Chains A and B, each alone.
Chain A
């Protein structure tokens, strides 16, 4: 049942990502929806499980993009694993902490995307996209405590958090 719930969640967020209306964007940008549960999983699940689930959440982005297959999956897995390993150093249950950690992790993912883009397409002027990366990081980070609240209410990630050490 937990995998069905998780698949439906990933599908809904993938649809939101590719069909998000322009009118609901902030300066033309939207949160990285599929990264939000990956960040929350990194804050509540064991490290290996967080990496695996992060990888699964990144895969739809790879399949629906011109980026190479596996790149988003790898980045999502890496940040989820990193958060799971580092969360002991933070009071991760506080919404502000969640938002800040989420924004920071998102920024790392977006910078990695830009670095790869700058090597693949040298004329892309990837450095000029840093303000966009900062805005998207803030938007995504703001979604993490909201998702955590929804998870507590509806049990979106129930079954994946057992065995974790919460702060």
Chain B
């Protein structure tokens, strides 16, 4: 025979939950999530700030290109342009004829100088261009200094030219004036001469002898008129010569040096003066003398016309030299410009490269920061939410699901000091209780089995032995002994029934039963037929319920116990049992009524107790288990049972119970 195992102790429960709620180390899930979000938000803000910073860096780089590199290029362009313009302008400077023009051009040059030098100082901000700029500056300064010199020279030339022109004008007009006087005088003299010649001829032709007049006339002619004519002609030629010389001089067609030219003109003037001195005509002489005086005045000295003219020539030469210098300088400037352009281009490329680099760096750092922020956010999320919260939540959910399905193998060890930890702790407790319950049930099952098997064996033995005694010595027994034996058998049977009842009771409500589509009406009818066979009872069935999916075995257990109870406790040999059924959405309502003696109010509760009978077992052989089994089964599916019976008023008893439509 096997012995029953006793149950083990209760699980530890006190203090488990309390221990988790230590105030100082508790960080709730809410706090963790909040921290996680705060962390992520902080990283987002940080990355946004870095983004802004990067953007700033990029736009600064961009700006530097726009503000520095490009302007410097422009500066160089302009410088070069201006240089070219100055080169062109230089020619016109030399060609200036008037002081106003000269002033204008001087002003232009000043502007150019200012601009070019300012461009150069702007370009000086580029370290790579600095050397070039210095050289350029020296050349530029050189050029403009030369130009200033030129200007001075040109100015002087203009002045001298003006003066010389005035002088030459005077000289020429004087000369012409002389001619203007002399030519008519010549004509007159010729006329007179030819008159005289005519007269002489006439005289000679008249032949008057001893006429003293032709010889006088002849003498007059030769001495006066012809010599006068000669003189005047000489003056004329000399004056023309002078004028020619002056004109040639002015046209730069002269051939001699300054000294030669001057002496030519002076000697010409002198000769004319000498010739004029011999004139008879006083007026003419005076005019000529006046004009000669003017001419002399204008041509004498280094500041005279010739002097000025030659000074101008010298100035032109100087200008030529200065221009040549300028040209050289300009050429050099051009070369340096090229160099400068190149170096500025290099600077610009460097700037652009630097800007691109900073752009790239900006972009890269932006991406890096974004990635880092993202990764950090992920890490924060991972660390604080996923691993700490979600993972634990998943685990708790998974294990809870397992527990709900009856799978109690896994332990839920969660050490977190927060809401999840509390839940885990509570679940552990429930698991412990559940495991305990299971074990208790298992123990009960084993006990029931043991009871059923091990207790029944000796019972069977007793029953057999009693029967054998009766068989073997039935005739030899006294009446009393026979009665005793009968009672013995009865008691043994009762014990067997009680045992069976106990076993059924212990099983009732704990068995997993198969669900099938059951026609409840038929089920009731079948159960009745099985129990009430040949017993004079009839069944009235009023069941308006369609087939439902339910545990047929349990249903029949309930109905069967109620029907057999009704029959067993009926005081008459015949009777009727009514089973009604009313559907409602969640529960079916059954009413099992009989027309037996009924149950008094005071016993309505007691009849459901284990081994409780109303009549003694000698009157009605019943284990007293049936109704308690019914109650247990119904309770296991969440239903209930009530009695409605009042024997003082009316016969009969009704048992009303509910049955689930949807199996729990």
Q: Are A and B a genuine interacting pair, yes or no?
A: no
